[in-house]
Each structure stands twice: as structure tokens, then as C-alpha cells.
């Protein structure tokens, strides 16, 4: 019998989770399908590859990267630890709970190396241009970015793992064209040191605004002014970070807020989030809705495309859980493809999606979002194996504790230690408070971990 063919678009953490999931099946002696990955970068790990580029890359492609220098994990590493590859296994010694980007990438790559015996192929420097479905088969058209050669291939299943934190949501503010200073979206933010001695206005009040404001003052910005549309973050900010209501207009160097206050700024950073963007999917296969914690309204169990269950989207929701969620989703998708999980009829799918979506729309606090995602993953874990439901619950508990630490003191939450949900081993503290750790190299970080 011919092997089932799976085309996976993107080889960031979600694509890498697919490799690990099938590797687990192979280790158990199961026959696995033929996996082909299309990756437009020249290496795996998606956003975790730091790039200095903004705008377009060397091939004229939109730059995928949204991460920046000096980025440290914004959640405890124990909440994204991979069940089949613990931090202790990788680093061979305990490390602190909040590592810099490069350390988490190192870990990601370690697991990938260990769990990569699936015989898969990865086409690097290859951008998928079009995915179309006819008679139950998917045709993927792709371009080799180096040679500009376009080719196509046919697949039984398609897994979209291209991420959704790369295509900026960039609203208009009246008068912004008169602003005498730098204007950028967080997607293009690369180095906080650039804003030394400056007053920076950040638009938006979520993870990017929070972290970029902290980064800026950590590396010498004079002041950060965070403008919120709906709610303040309300953290115990240092004196040089303030929160102000929505900006109504901008004139030269001045920004005017809804509450009548005026502020002078040197730079404006749009931290207004990202949009789902799958231009390469033919219209009937394309996710279009805004992101939320469940994800667009058309994914059964958060992954299976309602209109065509042989198409899956991974990691398409906003995330409290990250690597753990990607891994569990990948195991779930693997078991559908291996015929271990049945896809119900459309009516049942629609009902299931509606139930999760309805609850998602009632979420009003971080704790509700965390517990929602815990329950969602627990639901997947009923049908697939990855980690125990107890470990999943422990992760939610830790995420709730982390939210509390942030409320207590936004400057010190990264100094806290958590325990592994799998081994119980406790992290060690940073040798110096995070706010004073200006060197984010792997060497410097691991040197402190004797
Ligand atoms: P991505 O990492 O975006 O990978 C998608 C891959 O698809 C990329 O390699 C891309 O090149 C490829 N691709 C895209 N389009 C195409 C195409 N047409 N053809 C071929 N290949 C394509 N998570 C955490 O756990 N901790 C953190 O501290 C954290 N910080 C973050 C900070 C920032 C600024 C951002 C933006 C995100 C952060 N995240 C963090 C979340 C992060 O998005 C996830 O951890 C993870 O990278 C998502 O993995 P992914 O595989 O879904 O997507
Ligand atoms: P988020 O979490 O989607 O947040 C976007 C923020 O931008 C949020 O506070 C929105 O306000 C605000 N927003 C969106 N549109 C507008 C307009 N038109 N005007 C004003 N404000 C707006 O994106 P982030 O980049 O912070 O985080 C995404 C990921 O990147 C996350 O996983 C991090 O790890 C890094 P709202 O609160 O909806 O009123």
C-alpha cells in the first residue's frame, strides 16, 4: 500500500512538534506516513531564530521574525517543558525558570535532534505559494527562494504550522504622518538600546507592550508611555513607565490622549498585535477570523478544519500554554492521521466548536484564560497520549502563580523559581536580578548555573 503523504507548512515549534509526535509513534513500532516540510527560512525553530532584518529578507520575502535582542522567556520554562525531553536531560543541570531566547531555542533544537528519526524531509528556503484541494487531494505549489524555481506536489493531508505572530495589525491614528520620530510595529522591534534616553509611546496593552516597555527602560530609555484601548495592564510599574488611555491624535512630537493629557514622544511603537495571514491557502481552505484563545471559529478541537478534516492548523490560537500545546495538538493530529481518533460528522464538529467558542467568549481574566486552555488540552489528552492530565493541571497552576507574581512586581517576576511538572526538580535562581542581567548570551546564562 502506498504511504500516506503529509505536507507540513512551516517548521517552527509547531512543525517541530509534528516531527516529535510521529517519532514517538515510530518508536512504538507503528508505520508512519511520509512527511514533507516546507520552510521558508534556512533553518528550523521559526520565531526563535533571531534576525536583524526587518521588512523583507534577502530573497524579497516578508521577514518572519518578530523576536528581538535581549528577549527573555515571558513565562516559566517549566510551563513549556516538553514531556519527552526535560530541561534536565538537555542541560544536564538545573537552570533558572526564565531563560533568554537563545537558551530556549537551544532546548528546542536539542529535542528536535533527539526526536527526528522519522525519515522526514525539510525543504529549506522554500516558500509555499499555493495550496488547493481537488477530489480529496491537496496540491502544494512551492518556490525555491534561491533558484526561483516553482514546483508542486500532491498530499493526502496538509498541516499548516506557519504561526500567527508575524503579520502586523497596524491601525491608523490621525496625524501620525506628522510625527517627527521613528514609528514602527513590534514585529520590527529589534533592539531596545536604540531607544536609550528617549521617550517611547507604546500603543496596545498586552504582552508586546508590556515586554517592550520593560526592555526599553532596562536598556536606558528615559520614559515609556503605554496607551491602552480597553483596559490598563495595571502593573506595579517603575516610575518611568506610565499607562494612559487611548491616543486620539498625533501632531508633530505630541500625542493627545482621550483623557485630555498630552505627551511629547521620540518614538511610537505599535504593539497592536498580529493577524492570521494565510495568503497561500486557497479561499475555501483559509482561516480568516480574528485570533482568540480558542482560535478561529472553524477548527474542530482547535486544529481540524471544519470544511475539510484532512487539513489541520496547529498553534492557531492565542497562547497561555506554548510548546506543550503545540506538542499535544501534534499528537492529536498524528492520531487522527494514523486512524486512532475518528473525526465525527459535521454536525457534531460544529456543536463541539460552538461549545468551546461560547465559553471562550465569556473569558474576562487571565486565570479564566489559563484554565480554559488547561481544559481544552485535557480534552485532547482524553484521546491522545503526551503527558498526564495531572501534569497539564500542574502547568495551569504554575501559570496562575506566574500571573500573581507579575501582579506583585512586574520587575521581579522573572527572578522566581518553578518546579518541573514532570520531574518535580526545582529551578535555581538567577545569579543577579533579571532587571540587571544585561547580557543575554547562552554562555553568560549557563555560567551562573553551577
Ligand atoms: P512560528 O514560530 O512563527 O514558526 C512558523 C514557521 O513557518 C516559520 O519558521 C516560518 O518561516 C514558516 N513559514 C511561514 N510562512 C511560510 C510559507 N509560506 N512557506 C514556508 N514556510 C513558512 N512563546 C513562549 O513560549 N515564550 C516566550 O517567551 C515567547 N515570546 C514571544 C515573543 C514574541 C515577540 C513573539 C512574537 C512570540 C513569542 N512567543 C513566546 C510565542 C511564539 O509564537 C511561539 O513560542 C512559537 O514560536 C510559535 O510556533 P509556530 O511554529 O506556531 O510559529
Ligand atoms: P495581543 O496580545 O494580540 O495584543 C494586542 C494589543 O493591541 C491589545 O492590547 C489590543 O487592545 C491592542 N490593539 C489592537 N488593535 C488596536 C487598535 N486598533 N487600537 C489600539 N489598540 C489596539 O498582541 P501582542 O503583540 O501583545 O502579543 C502577541 C504575542 O506576541 C504574544 O504571544 C507574546 O508572547 C508576543 P485591546 O486590549 O484588545 O483593547
3-state secondary structure of 422: coil
3-state secondary structure of 401: helix
| Backbone dihedral region for residue 302 (phi beyond 0: left; psi -120 to 50: alpha; all else: beta) | left
CA of 18 to the centre of ligand 2 (A): 28
Instruction: Quote the pLDDT of residue 2.
Output: 81
Q: For ligand 1, is residue 12 a contact (CB within 6 Å)?
A: yes
Instruction: Quote the pLDDT of residue 291.
Output: 79
Copy the grid coordinates of residue 89: 536531560
Q: For ligand 2, is residue 296 a contact (CB within 6 Å)?
A: no
Q: Which long-range contacts (C-beta less than 8 Å, at least 24 apart) are formed by 381-386? A: 381/328, 383/332, 383/335, 383/340, 383/341, 384/328, 384/331, 384/332, 384/334, 384/335, 384/340, 384/341, 385/331, 386/83, 386/327, 386/328, 386/331
CA of 65 to the centre of ligand 1 (A): 8
Q: Which ligand is nearest to the CA of 41?
A: 1
CA distance 29 to 41: 32
Q: For ligand 1, is residue 38 a contact (CB within 6 Å)?
A: yes
Q: For ligand 2, is residue 67 a contact (CB within 6 Å)?
A: no
Q: For ligand 1, is residue 165 a contact (CB within 6 Å)?
A: yes
Instruction: Quote the pLDDT of residue 1.
Output: 61
CA of 47 to the centre of ligand 1 (A): 4
| Backbone dihedral region for residue 204 (phi beyond 0: left; psi -120 to 50: alpha; all else: beta) | left
For residue 56, give the DSSP letter.
Answer: B
Instruction: Quote the pLDDT of residue 36.
Output: 98
Instruction: Kindly report the average pLDDT of the chain as a whole number.
Output: 96
**Residue pLDDT, tens place only, 361-386:** 999 999 999 999 999 999 999 999 99
Q: For ligand 1, is residue 141 a contact (CB within 6 Å)?
A: no
Percent of the chain with pLDDT over 70: 99
Residue whose Cα lies nearest atom 9 of ligand 1: it is 46
In the chain the domains, ranked by start, together with CATH numbers, are 5-167+274-403 (3.50.50.60), 176-270 (3.50.50.60)
CB 269 within 8 A of CB 202: yes
Instruction: Quote the pLDDT of residue 450.
Output: 59
Residue whose Cα lies nearest atom 45 of ligand 1: it is 322
Residue whose Cα lies nearest atom 33 of ligand 2: it is 207
Q: Which run of H or of E encompasses 392?
A: helix 389-408
Instruction: Quote the pLDDT of residue 295.
Output: 75
Residues of the chain with pLDDT under 50: none
Tell how far CA 73 is from the center of its chain. Answer: 11
Instruction: Quote the pLDDT of residue 292.
Output: 86
Q: For ligand 2, is residue 206 a contact (CB within 6 Å)?
A: yes
Q: For ligand 1, is residue 273 a contact (CB within 6 Å)?
A: no
Q: For ligand 2, is residue 166 a contact (CB within 6 Å)?
A: no
Amino acid at each position: 500500500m502506498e504511504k500516506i503523504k503529509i505536507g507540513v507548512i512551516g517548521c517552527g515549534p509547531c512543525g517541530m512538534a509534528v516531527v516529535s509526535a510521529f517519532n514517538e509513534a515510530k518508536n512504538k513500532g507503528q508505520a508512519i506516513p511520509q512527511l514533507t516540510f516546507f520552510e521558508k527560512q534556512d533553518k528550523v525553530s521559526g520565531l526563535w531564530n533571531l534576525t536583524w532584518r526587518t521588512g523583507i529578507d534577502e530573497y524579497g520575502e516578508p521577514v518572519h521574525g518578530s523576536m528581538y535582542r535581549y528577549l527573555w522567556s515571558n513565562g516559566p520554562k517549566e510551563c513549556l517543558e516538553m514531556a519527552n525531553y526535560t530541561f534536565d536531560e538537555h542541560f544536564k543541570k538545573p537552570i533558572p525558570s526564565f531563560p533568554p531566547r537563545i537558551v530556549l531555542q537551544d532546548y528546542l533544537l536539542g529535542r528536535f535532534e533527539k526526536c527526528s528519526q522519522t525519515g522526514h524531509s525539510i525543504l529549506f528556503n522554500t516558500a509555499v505559494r499555493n495550496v488547493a484541494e481537488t477530489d480529496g487531494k491537496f496540491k502544494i505549489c512551492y518556490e525555491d527562494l534561491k533558484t526561483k524555481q516553482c514546483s508542486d506536489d500532491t498530499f493526502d493531508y496538509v498541516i499548516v504550522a506557519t504561526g500567527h505572530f508575524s503579520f502586523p495589525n497596524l491601525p491608523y491614528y490621525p496625524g501620525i504622518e506628522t510625527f517627527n520620530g521613528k514609528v514602527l510595529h513590534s514585529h520590527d522591534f529589534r533592539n531596545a538600546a536604540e531607544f536609550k534616553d528617549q521617550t517611547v509611546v507604546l500603543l496596545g496593552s498586552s504582552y508586546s507592550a508590556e515586554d517592550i516597555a520593560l526592555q526599553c527602560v532596562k536598556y536606558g530609555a528615559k520614559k515609556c508611555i503605554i496607551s491602552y484601548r480597553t483596559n490598563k495592564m495595571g502593573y506595579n510599574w517603575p516610575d518611568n513607565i506610565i499607562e494612559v488611555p487611548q491616543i486620539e491624535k498625533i501632531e508633530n512630537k505630541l500625542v493627545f490622549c482621550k483623557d485630555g493629557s498630552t505627551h511629547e514622544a521620540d518614538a511610537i511603537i505599535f504593539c497592536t498585535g498580529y493577524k492570521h495571514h494565510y495568503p497561500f491557502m486557497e479561499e475555501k481552505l483559509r482561516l480568516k477570523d480574528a485570533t482568540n484563545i480558542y482560535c478561529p471559529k472553524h477548527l474542530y478541537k482547535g486544529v481540524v478544519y471544519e470544511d475539510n478534516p484532512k487539513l489541520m492548523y496547529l498553534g492557531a490560537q492565542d497562547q497561555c500554554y506554548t510548546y506543550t500545546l503545540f506538542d499535544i495538538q501534534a499528537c492529536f493530529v498524528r492520531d487522527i492521521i494514523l486512524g486512532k481518533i475518528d473525526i465525527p460528522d459535521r454536525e457534531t464538529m460544529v456543536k463541539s466548536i460552538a461549545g468551546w467558542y461560547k465559553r471562550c467568549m465569556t473569558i474576562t481574566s487571565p486565570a479564566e484564560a489559563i484554565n480554559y486552555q488547561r481544559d481544552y488540552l485535557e480534552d485532547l489528552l482524553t484521546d491522545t497520549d503526551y503527558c498526564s492530565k495531572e501534569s497539564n493541571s500542574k502547568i495551569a497552576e504554575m501559570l496562575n502563580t506566574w500571573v500573581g507574581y507579575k501582579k506583585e512586581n512586574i520587575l521581579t517576576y522573572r527572578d522566581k523559581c518553578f518546579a518541573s511538572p514532570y520531574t518535580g526538580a526545582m529551578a535555581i535562581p538567577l545569579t543577579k536580578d533579571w532587571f540587571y542581567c544585561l547580557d543575554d548570551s547562552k554562555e553568560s546564562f549557563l555560567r551562573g548555573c553551577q
